Amino acid sequence: MAELVLRNVSKSYGKHRVLKELCYTFSPGIYGLLGPNGAGKSTMIHLITDNLRPDNGEILYNGESIRNMGKGYREKLGFMPQQQRLYPNFTLERFLWYMATLKGLKKEEAVNQIPELLELVNLSDVKTRRLGGFSGGMKQRALLAQALLGNPEVIILDEPTAGLDPKERIRFRNLISRVAFNRIILVATHVVSDIEFIAKEIL
């Protein structure tokens, strides 16, 4: 069973301390990272994804420092960014193939996974449409699909329902619940309703 441990993690920007001696252990399930903008959610995400290094403390995955694991750790991650910076001229299918290539998936893996993920996020019927013509909700589901490529064990969703209408928010929450089995899923948000019914714990 996957285990992600933050042990006495601190991070400052100049004199501004964002995180102070943060300790937490994540096991499979959905976790809400709740707080207003500027609370430190994004900093925590960047530390967990190894895009930032903590000033003090360490982050362990299954007992090993993520700093020592390198590529082996990143292969276990799926990340859905807050901003919808998609390639407007790419079709959805081409976008997923491109992301599969960046993640280092073998062709056979991509051939099997991409249709399954399109079905999961209910976008199979628009796979040949350009992303520039997608609605906000469709783009969010496309970003979730790419985060799931490679069957990651840790999935990080940064403000996944930003800009969505109420129906799309509900649909997206249900989708997150469906993919949570045997995975650690972190959902960063400032909207309580996004995670109050699906998260097993809220930080």
pLDDT tens digits, one per residue of 127-141: 999 999 998 889 989
- pTM score, two decimals? 0.90
Q: How far is the CA of 141 from the CAs of 36, 149, 150, 174, in angstroms? A: 24, 13, 16, 12
According to DSSP, residue 95 is labeled H
- Residue pLDDT tens, the chain, 203 long: 889 999 999 999 999 999 999 999 999 999 999 988 888 998 999 999 999 999 999 999 999 999 999 889 999 999 998 766 789 999 999 999 999 999 999 999 999 999 999 999 999 999 999 999 998 889 989 999 999 999 999 999 998 887 788 888 888 888 899 889 899 999 998 888 888 889 999 99
pLDDT tens digits, one per residue of 76-115: 999 998 766 789 999 999 999 999 999 999 999 999 999 9
According to DSSP, residue 139 is labeled H
- 194-161-180-197 Cα dihedral, nearest 10 degrees: 10
Round to whole Å and give the CA distance between 42 and 33: 10
| Closest to 194 measured CA to CA, from 165, 161, 163 | 161
Residues 6+ away with beta carbon under 8 Å from 94:
none
Q: Please write down the long-range contacts of 98-105, taking CB distance under 8 Å and 24 or more positions apart.
A: 99/146, 99/149, 100/149, 100/150, 103/75, 103/149, 103/150, 104/75, 104/150, 105/149, 105/150
